[in-house]
Structure 1
Amino acid sequence: MRGEKHLLTSEEKNGFNLFTGKAKCGTCHFIPLFNGTVPPSFHKTESEVLGVPASVNSYEIDPDLGKYITTHSDTHKNAFKTTTIRNIEYTAPYMHNGVYKTLEEVIDFYNKGGGAGIGINVPNQTLSPDQLSLTEKEKKELIAFMMTLSDVPQSINTIVRNE
């Protein structure tokens, strides 16, 4: 974005183009924060109804009512904050209930159109139920781009304590 074209591989660049285009990730995970904080003023955070299943192969929506618990608005049933994808490689499991263990599973869920796309009855789903038709190569490129949003940890397995 700053003209430093050498910093990303062609696979990562393709992933960025997918993120902002065909995969539609950028419609909820807004650049530059890559979360649901709405630009340009960044005063509001979006929540979405994705139709997340109760378990991996379930055709039932997760019973957690999400934002509805505080608003009591039917449009917020099963709505959850759009979190950041920065450092996503370190934050598994994914979704509010941890149903997906890998990014591949998450992308497959979105690729199929979320809960409605996999056959769950989600009358208020905000995610389009249309399939994205991402190829296996495109899915890998998308993940390659998302990995570029990770900080380089000083040490992921070592905690320094003053004793």
Structure 2
Amino acid sequence: MLTGDELSAALAGLPVLSESGVAYRIVHAKYAASTISSIGSLKFGGRYNPPQAFEALYLASNPVTALQEVNAVVQTEDGLLGVKGPPRILLSVDYQLQAILDICHPENQSVLETNLSELIAPWRPLNAKGQMAPTQTLGSAAYNLQSIEALKVPRLPRSKHL
């Protein structure tokens, strides 16, 4: 992936999408009073934001993906299977955005000199070593432009369990 000024320039040159719709989020029930808060991403970081840098609100395009992201359901040979866990709340969030960067698009990945493998690679081990993941570098550069409202990113592939 590009870095530094090259990454910032490449991001600024990519086309943005205008879109409205519904996205989904799963939160632990103990956070019911602050379901749209992104303070956890500030404290602990996420795939596209490093810890202690800025808040990022992570949403999914459908309820099943939201459930899979928190391992509340897993894909098996027999279909989706619910996984026992803490009580969770599924939210639907209406959105209307004017500046979405589509990082799923292969042409945009090429401009950024990245690929699907890099975008879905584990990021936590790098953070544990005190390093920023390439996706966090990407998210930080997009955030610093202050003109991008959201990133549309690839979802992680789901392995079959059981």
TM-score (norm 1): 0.25
TM-score (norm 2): 0.25
Which is greater in Rg? 1
- Higher strand residue share: 2
